Structure 1
């Protein structure tokens, strides 16, 4: 039995969880937050998620985990057979992470902890996000899925990568990512109606209060250390 380590409020955790649920792979969940000593034993960088395989090997980094799951559990594949089409799926995944999720993440402290972010940082983030939405507009097909007529890893990855710009954009940039790419809002609504998406979203909501309490406690401890 696989064990997925992390917490349901994490978008990267949910990428891996969605893949497992979509494929029907049995797994246990182990709740662990960043900063907990036990997480470092599971993930060298202390990041969520991590995965313990049936043989006891522990792996980390979400992109590594979903590639492992795709290879180890080939039923209901999430990558096309054609090498070029597989590369196109991975291209969307990488672009979305580098130019949408990671820059938007810089504004999370302002949303989660009311930490001021300078206008210069906001401007830099917005420029990178504009590059990301332009790239996505060029690469995505939405016919009806991101890379064509079959749901792929690109759809799952993009859904949870978008969670961060959707969270920070309106309040920090007065900007909404969904209208920025033609077809994105309709695709996003379609993904939200998927049964697996609904299960993941419900688990996320159930975890949110505990996660925010953990964040508040962690940030409070950090402020005391600074004083």
Structure 2
């Protein structure tokens, strides 16, 4: 048995790490399931009046007037074979800072007219938090009003807006011409069960390999002591 001691001491920490990673992924899976259930419940519930400091991804309703003269484009998105972007329009509010509203996807080149409602409107959607542009993020074209990272303060400065909320609103609604709004709240992927199975499978494989090796090792004759 002494011949197995050192290999076992090496294998045990590896086994522990694999079991820990599998258990961690299961915990992440349960957390993600709860989050998805919360998102589904919020999606099914009616929109709540927007506040000055709403939680990200909350379904809300906001009232104001669209400032179509300060429209901008956010990001790039291909649908089918058509390249488009998201139409970003300030919503001017009497009792609160202006709000950048993502009204939905529009093609960059289209002969279909874009709806631009006038006067007071109430829009429903979900709260989109500001982004922190990554190192490889595309450079915004402030002069051309084309943005690739959602940074409300930076966009507001380029559009000449004196006050802006530090978050945005993404419109939810059915397909009804252009812009084409979002249908659902964003949902994170949930692949943690597959990761857990992978880690537990590796742990089981390690045990199997060690058991086969140990069995063969024990069957080998012990080396005789060296003689002078």
Q: What TM-score, normalized to structure 2?
A: 0.22
Structure of greater relative contact order (alpha carbons < 8 Å, 6+ residues apart): 2
Greater share of residues in helix: 1
TM-score by length of 1: 0.22
